[in-house]
Amino acid sequence: MCELLGMSANVPTDICFSFTGFLHRGGGTGPHRDGWGIAFYEAGGYRDFRDPHPSVRSPIARLITDYPIKSHIAISHIRQANVGEVRLANTHPFTREMWGRTWCYAHNGQLEDWQELSLSFYRPVGDTDSEHAFCWLLATLREHYPEAPALGTCDETMLEGHQAFWQLLHRLCETLRAKGVFNLLLADGEFFYTFCSTKLAHITRRAPFGKAELSDAELTVNFAEHTTPDDIVSVVATEPLTCNEAWVRMVPGELLVWRHGRIVARFVAEAQASQD
């Protein structure tokens, strides 16, 4: 299957360290050689890079590791093709517009009977189950919320205004999880969403910062030399990227909503909720 990498931060932050380890899994330390992509939300804008070739040998991927693009949210994906040809149109992340915002999406897993998901406003460009599910998911959200939930004037009122929307998103993710494996990274430039079907892990780095050592490449960084005491940076990946840090594994059916590096909402499957 594919692998996912994402970041949420409270200050513009580059993802060069994590991406360096991640790209080695795309045909190097891992079998995910069927394309890769990465997207950044920065300074109110959005840009992405995609390549249908293995990331470990991609000149574009090497550019990303050497070019410290600083963003609040980043999403990356390396592909091991199951559905759809190996071509640029099938390379994640996928994007669509809603509410005047660029929505970015990446999926790890494989769905059954995905063609039965009826499409309305959005249509796929490629021929993957992932993009089809994205079109269905975003169109369903749009049907229920033609306009964005009100942001409010402070964090507390902002979060209250989004609860119903997030609950709907969680239910839709659960619908897709019932069709197979559906691990998700999704963002709109304001919030970053992670949904676990089988495997996702996360780590939040904040003061006091220390050293981190990659598992897939010989690279160690001392974050204390590159941060301020107020920085908060959270990284999410299919599998932990470092070997000397304590990552937290998400549970199946769990949706986390991130903003500025912090978890601002959590939703779990009904079975998990009864255990909690």
Active site residues: 2
Q: What angle do CA 51, 179, 168 make, to 5 degrees?
A: 90
Question: Letter for the amino acid at 58?
Answer: S
Two tokens, residue 34: 């069927």
Residue 55 to residue 24: CA distance in whole angstroms: 7
Please state, in angstroms and rounded to a whole number, the distance separating the CA atoms of residues 169 and 40: 22
Q: Both tokens of residue 162?
A: 């989004």
The answer to whether 267 and 170 have CB atoms below 8 angstroms apart is: yes
Is 86:52 a contact under the CB 8 Å cutoff?
yes
In the chain, helix, strand, coil percent, each to 5? 25, 35, 40
Peptide bond just before 93 cis, omega within 30 deg: yes
DSSP-derived 3-state class of residue 257: strand
